[in-house]
Amino acid sequence: MQMPAQFTRVTKRYGDIEALRGLDLTIRPGELVALLGANGAGKTTAVRALLGLSEPTSGEVRVFGSNPRDAQSRTRIAAMLQTARVPETLRVREHIDLFSSYYPHPRALAEVIEAAGLQGLERRKFGELSGGQQKRVLFAIALCGNPDLLVLDEPTAGLDVEARRALWKQIRAFVATGRSVLLTTHYLAEAEALATRVVVIHKGVVKAEGTSQEIKGNAATLEDAFIEMLEAS
């Protein structure tokens, strides 16, 4: 069976800096994997390699068995990137309309609007939306091509509690359909709430992995366990 995502001994070097040093990671169907790590641990590099935005220095990244750069892979994986700013003068439905045209089997507009919780905002321009609503638009354009693997790079950074909970609900609904998610986050409570499996990376390699219960061990919270782990290394 082809795994949604597979990293095999992946390294990535930028000049003198080794961002990934032999990363091994598999995402299975129906799994939501939370990728945790301090700044500089290699999370963004791993995400970029998985999306085919940068080529690993060595090792192999596969998306459903294919090179992430293949058009075939790009129709099955979609991403919500943390840095993205969207052209502000286009309306919500226009953004979705455009992105839907990239895919062979896009979802219906109404369905995407509902899955992202954007009802009533279809005609609003991106620049007029609140931070939480803007994130949901990014979530919608990631969903519209009907992907089997969703990559969420710090999707709730900067959102208030309510907006964060709303997005969690939509992420859970996506996973409930049997598809997979790779989530990076700085909110460990978010990993605890959503992840079927937690992977901690440090200095470009996997430091620990398991359910959030297993990672927690005897610590009171995932955060305590995470800090302990970083201090020990």
Partner 1 sequence: MRTYLLEIKYEFLKALRMPQYSLPTILFPIVFYVFFGVMFGQRNTGAIKMSEYLIATYGAFGVIGASLFGFGVSVAVERGQGWLEVKRTTPMPIAAYFAAKLAMAMVFSAIIVVLLMTVGATLGGVVLAPLEAIALFGVLIGGSITFCALGLALGFFCGPNSAAPLVNLIYLPLAFLSGLWVPITFLPKTVQAFAVWLPPYHFSQLALRVLGGSRGESVLMHIGAMLAAAIVFCAIAYAGYRRDEGKTYG
CA 118 to CA 86: how far, in whole Å?
16
Site track for partner 1 across 83-122, x = CB under 8 A: xxxxx-xx---x--xxx-xxx-------------------
Q: Helix 131-143 and helix 161-176: axis angle, to 10°?
A: 10
CA 26 to CA 14: how far, in whole Å?
24
The minimum distance between CB 219 and partner 1, in angstroms, equals 26
The minimum distance between CB 226 and partner 1, in angstroms, equals 17
Task: Select the span of 21-29, 35-43, 165-173, 189-197 touching partner 1 (CB under 8 A).
Answer: 35-43
Q: Using the minimum distance from each CB to partner 1, give the nearer residue, 122 or 224.
A: 122
Q: Using the minimum distance from each CB to partner 1, give the nearer residue, 79 or 163.
A: 79
Q: Give the CA distances from residue 136 to residues 140, 166, 175, in Å, rounded to whole numbers and listed in that order.
A: 6, 9, 16
The minimum distance between CB 54 and partner 1, in angstroms, equals 5
Q: Residue 149 in contact with residue 180, Cβ under 8 Å?
A: yes
The minimum distance between CB 190 and partner 1, in angstroms, equals 18
Which residue of 3, 8, 21, 54 would you call a contact of partner 1, by CB under 8 A?
A: 54
CA 113 to CA 118: how far, in whole Å?
5
Q: Residue 7 in contact with residue 46, Cβ under 8 Å?
A: yes
Q: Using the minimum distance from each CB to partner 1, give the nearer residue, 6 or 216.
A: 6
Which two three-digit tokens encode residue 32?
């939501």
Task: Select the span of 2-10, 12-20, 157-165, 213-221 touching partner 1 (CB under 8 A).
Answer: 12-20
Q: Residue 47 in contact with residue 153, Cβ under 8 Å?
A: yes
Nearest to 183, CA basis, from 199, 207, 165, 159: 199
- The verdict on 48 binding partner 1 (CB under 8 A) reads yes
CA 159 to CA 182: how far, in whole Å?
19
Which residue of 81, 193, 208, 230 would you call a contact of partner 1, by CB under 8 A?
A: 81
Binding residues vs partner 1 (CB under 8 A): 12, 14, 17, 19, 39-45, 48, 51-55, 71, 74-75, 77-79, 81, 83-87, 89-90, 94, 97-99, 101-103, 125, 138, 141, 145
